[in-house]
Amino acid sequence: MDILVLMKVVPDVVEELEVGPDGKSLDTSFLRTIINERDDHALEQALLLKDKHGGKVTLLTLDAPDIDDVLFTALAKGADRAVKICGVESVQSTQTAVKLFGETIAKTPGLLPVDLILTGVSAIDDLDGLMAAPIAQQLGWAYTGVVTQVALADKTATVIKEFAGGVRGEYEVPTPAVLGIQAAEKPPRYVPVAKVRAAMKSMTIETVDAPAVEAATTVEVQQMAKPQVTGHAEMIEGSPEEVADKICELLAKRGLI
Amino acid sequence: MSTATPSADNGNGVMTLENLAKFPEGQKVYSCMQCGTCAATCPYGDDLAFPPRAIITMLEAGLIEEVFNNPGLLNCVTCYACMAKCPRGIKLTEVLLPLVKEQVFTHLKEVPAELQKALENTMRYGNPMGESPRKRALWAKSSPVPVPVIAEIKRAVDVLWFVECYPAYHPRGHDGNRATAKLFKALGIDFAILGNEEKCAGECVRMAGETGLFEMLTDANIKLMRKYKFNRIVTGGAHAYDALKHKYPAAGGDFEVHHTTPFFAQHLAQLKPKLKKKLDYTVTYHDACALGRHNGFYEEPRALLQAIPGVKLVEMNHSGVNSICCGGGGGMWLDTYYAEKGCERLSERRVKEALDTGANVLAVSCPYEISRFEDALKVAGGEKRMVVRDVVELLAEALED
Ligand code: SF4
Ligand code: SF4
């Protein structure tokens, strides 16, 4: 059972995001990127399946700052092969990312065949989850998303999908298939730095040139702005009696008592 | 195996469990007489699976792999109690346990979630809380005494103040920072901080067994500090002090380093006349493992506290070398894991002793202890009877305004 995992980076929201001078995009001078969390879960799900069934796990990513660390960490965790697509901006519109991944998968020898392609079902810059489905369409494979469990058998995958309100459904998907992973069956594993360093010495990251794709122009960003602060909390200070008086006063003023 | 072991290279390379006997302090391990004092002293003696005594037996019997495959040693909070009490003077917590802990960590089937998050955060953001490194020095804006950043003032300073993560990000740590700045000013000390460039000193990561990450942090901090000119480092972090003092030199970072408590004690003659405000507190002092048992600073904090007018110092049942660990240190990110195992929280055991003294202030010298003990006091129902204060906070309070 061979699995291809698609990973991309997204802006790291721990760092404060700034709007760029064009008022339509993020200021890249402060931007730090981080691997899309759900893609990390896709990797974990692939490794769990490998632990169970054997086979090979290959990673395909778009080049980004620090991406080598991510890839070597994945190799140290148990992935077999890491390939990065070079010559691209690290943060792409989802539509462009789909084209880059799709073309690369089709044209790079040795990436296919696989039984499954796993990727995060969504990302903070792709809340609609528009990555995996178009890639499945392009390959003519089945797709299903919001997956939280995968069991593999010959020519089928049985997956658990999560719906709103705690409802779950079990589906059978013919393989090869593309699955959008919501969460792996277990949280992504930790690998000690010493093992990552060993992977850096013993393994290599392959590179492929980005295919020439036309920039997608399906959606145009008109304006980007930070949320406006519309209200604030007021701390009432003083002795308990004073605080109680002030609370009564406020409630009365707002017509609540 | 580890390159972060405390041994100096004596021509036999880096100390490992296989070549222990080639190093004097390693050879001592084999002098163990199986008295069991270590296991009896250990605050988690029952939970270790293999206490130091048993580790040595397994090592001698060639069965050490069995110890590696048991997560029991995660319960070693690195409190230095066994080492302080071993009649053979075996450097258990310094030499043997880190080598074994590293292997136990590497062999873990699953890293406890809270610890994993802290390690991942430390790797990515340089602090275990996962805060933005760009906000590391933000606290300094709240200090009434200006706190210069060394890269900005572009000159040599006397004291490079290594702030460390908890004080940099935790609101209760900020209180201690403002106090430290005030004390530096009162003593006329020329100081600066590393600002946003500083990373976690890494000691808690090392104590958890993640030596690879510790080396990454050590290298980054040493490279950074070498860029600047200063006479000495002062840090309020007990574990940061421990790492800077005992581990950084082997990695090429041989700096003069002080912890705030002994540092201010050194300046007591100059400080004492300035401590004019009377503080009517009954204070009990908790000896941090890293400062007390590991570095012998028992007198310094007490001398400082007694110099404050009005302060009455009382001792807990276990104090000085017998102090009980707060459960931080090597167990810093394992509270949930210990709770799931059904182990007693050491911080709760400790605050009960503190409450028994009748003191209304629990004085500490390690920034982790503040939030640990404040939480434990709430659980023990003692938060109305006792407050937790860093020694520097009490000193700053006693300074004439
Ligand atoms: S206290 Fe020292 S001598 Fe006694 S069993 Fe423990 S390691 Fe051996
Ligand atoms: S260092 Fe402390 S916690 Fe660790 S084994 Fe020794 S006594 Fe126990």
- What is the rounded average pLDDT of the residues A45-52? 97
- What is the separation of C-alpha A196 from the centre of its chain, rounded to a whole number of angstroms? 21
| CA–CA separation, B58 and B52 (whole Å) | 10
B68, B132, B200, B336: best to mutate for the A interface, most A CBs within 10 A: B132
- Which DSSP string corresponds to chain A? --EEEEE-EEE-TTSPP-B-TTSSSB-TTT--EEE-HHHHHHHHHHHHHHHHH---EEEEEE--TTHHHHHHHHHHHT--EEEEEESS-SS--HHHHHHHHHHHHHHSTTS---SEEEEES-BTTBTT--SHHHHHHHHT-EEEEEEEEEEEETTEEEEEEE-GGG-EEEEEEESSEEEEES--SSPPPP--HHHHHHHHHH---EEEEPP--PPP-SS------PPPP--------S-HHHHHHHHHHHHHHTT--
Q: How confident is the model at residue B2, as a pLDDT?
A: 39
**Atom from ligand 2 closest to the CA of residue B51:** 5
Domains of chain A with bracketed CATH: 3-209 (3.40.50.620)
Look up tokens 């421990």; give the residue: B242
Say how many Å lie between the CA of residue B93 and the centre of ligand 1.
Answer: 12
Q: How confident is the model at residue B7, as a pLDDT?
A: 47
Ligand having the closest approach to the CA of B334: 2
For ligand 1, say whether the CB of B90 is within 6 Å of any of its atoms.
Answer: yes
When the pLDDT of each residue in chain A is averaged and rounded to a whole number, the result is 92
Instruction: Find chain B residues with C-beta within 8 A of A189's C-beta.
Output: 110-111
Q: How confident is the model at residue A25, as a pLDDT?
A: 85
Who wins on pLDDT, B64 or A213?
B64
In CATH, what number does B274-398 get? Answer: 3.40.50
Look up tokens 């995996």; give the residue: A132
Task: Reduce the DSSP state of residue B233 to 3 states and report it.
Answer: strand
The DSSP element (H or E) to which B285 belongs, if any, is strand B282-285
Sign for the pseudo-dihedral over CA of B214, B215, B220, B224 = positive
| DSSP-derived secondary structure letter, B366 | S
For ligand 1, say whether the CB of B35 is within 6 Å of any of its atoms.
Answer: yes
Who wins on pLDDT, A124 or B5?
A124
- B105/A197 Cβ within 8 A: no
The model's pTM: 0.92
Domain range summary for chain B, segments of one domain joined by +: 20-107, 113-266, 274-398
CB B392 within 8 A of CB B163: no
pLDDT in tens, B210-258: 999 999 999 999 999 999 999 999 999 999 999 999 999 999 999 999 9
| CA–CA separation, B15 and B25 (whole Å) | 10
**Atom from ligand 1 closest to the CA of residue B41:** 1
Q: How confident is the model at residue B85, as a pLDDT?
A: 97
Q: How confident is the model at residue B9, as a pLDDT?
A: 56
- Nearest residue of chain B to residue A187 (CA atoms): B113
- A192/B213 Cβ within 8 A: yes
- What is the rounded average pLDDT of the residues A68-89? 95
Architecture of the structural domain at B113-266 = 3-Layer(aba) Sandwich (3.40)
Mark the ranges of chain B whose per-residue pLDDT is less than 50: 1-7
Domain B274-398 in the same topology as domain B113-266 = yes
| CA–CA separation, B14 and B159 (whole Å) | 33
Banded pLDDT at A219 (limits 50, 70, 90): confident
Instruction: Find chain B residues with C-beta within 8 A of A195's C-beta.
Output: 106, 212
- A192/B123 Cβ within 8 A: no
| DSSP-derived secondary structure letter, B93 | I
Q: How confident is the model at residue B32, as a pLDDT?
A: 97
ipTM of the complex: 0.88
